[in-house]
Amino acid sequence: MNSTVETAVRPHRVSAAEVARVCGVSAATVSYVMNGKGGVSQETRRHIIKVANELGFRPAGHAKKQGDDPHLNRVVGLILPNIVNHMYTGWAEGIISATAREGFEVFVATTRDDPDTLAQVAATLAARNVDGVIIAATLREDSRALRTFRQRRIPYIYLSRRSDHLPGDFVGIDDFRAASQLMQHMLDHGYQEIATVIGPRFSTASLAREQAFVGTAAAQGVVITGERKISTRLNRDGGRVAAEKLLASPNPPRAIVCGSDEIAIGVMEHALELGLRIPEDLAVAGSDGLPHSRSALIGLTTIVQPVQEMAEKSFELLLAQITKPGNVFTHTFCKHHLHIGRTCGCKPDGPPKPEP
């Protein structure tokens, strides 16, 4: 009887010197980068990480540093609804910087808030054997993507949104409390005719904000009717579409409270095109606190999310799950604050009103 004996050949271990030769730097520089030390430019750092991943380089002590698995790819996935909304690009920049310090690269994908696209992105990331995923595009009622990661034992972190069905580490703000504070500030101005515009309700963040907006107003005797509660796309175009509907009404609102800055800017753009003055004719508030929204040019009243802190914390939790997988999950609420601009009706040179 014939038999075949297959001998496994141990793969060649790539050295730091080999990576250094390809990159045109010293072995010490490669060591600094792969061990997360400073003193190396961002461009050089990214080039070294890219070459190291292509060559399959694993630094000495890698398994000890990163956990029991010595075969990490040092790549994590980041899933965003889109890259039009500056909130998402801010998170992406923060996460890319945080991962680079630990010698990881980031594979960024967008879903356009489509469940089928989200499922496909999850399958793609799983096929690429990413070490973990940060997901800011979770849909409340759709857990297909998350089940893909669970089946492949790929850890994931919820950023801003989370699923109603599968547990996991979460990083965000207290959306309900933040939205309540924002609405209370608008009510303190005396507005009675108020509309709300949020992102898609299949986002837990958007839904919580709408519930807080409406509930806080109702507690003060201000009823926000169904036609004045609009869910739209999380970008400026979504805000413009919502404003077109609201401001064409025979009884348009005096104030519009929005679930994102980009939506609020779209609302204001359409209002200005109609010849309305902000805030004299229409008061507007947003949520997210993007730098350009708070600038002197726009002066938006908004809830500020700590973008950098949220980005760094999400990767910190993901790295912990990668190195020491566990079944105990934490919800981390980062501190938000209310930024008083002029779009709500406050005077720019006046003292800001205290937070409720």
- pLDDT tens, 272-314? 999 999 999 999 999 999 999 999 999 999 999 999 999 999 9
C-alpha to C-alpha distance for 325 and 322, rounded to whole angstroms? 6
Q: What pLDDT score does 194 carry?
A: 98
Taking residues 328-339, report their average pLDDT. Answer: 94
pLDDT in tens, 89-129: 999 999 999 999 888 999 999 999 999 999 999 999 998 88
Q: What is the pLDDT of residues 165-184, one digit of tens each?
A: 889 999 999 999 999 999 99
Average pLDDT over residues 148-167: 93
SS3 108: strand
Q: Give the tens place of pLDDT for each residue, 245-256.
A: 999 999 999 999
CA separation (Å) from 28 to 22, 32, 101, 131?
Answer: 14, 6, 16, 26
pTM: 0.78
What gap in Å lies between CA 219 and CA 313, rounded to an integer?
35
pLDDT in tens, 2-11: 333 333 333 4
What percent of the chain clears pLDDT 90, i.e. is strictly above it? 69
pLDDT attached to residue 59: 58
Phi, psi of 144 (to 5 degrees): -60, -45
| C-beta of residue 85 within 8 angstroms of C-beta of residue 260 | yes
Is it the case that residue 141 has pLDDT exceeding 90? no
The DSSP letter of residue 312 is H
Cα dist. 280→6, 64, 182 in Å? 81, 62, 19
Lowest mean pLDDT among 45-59, 176-190, 326-340: 45-59
The predicted pLDDT at position 355 comes to 43
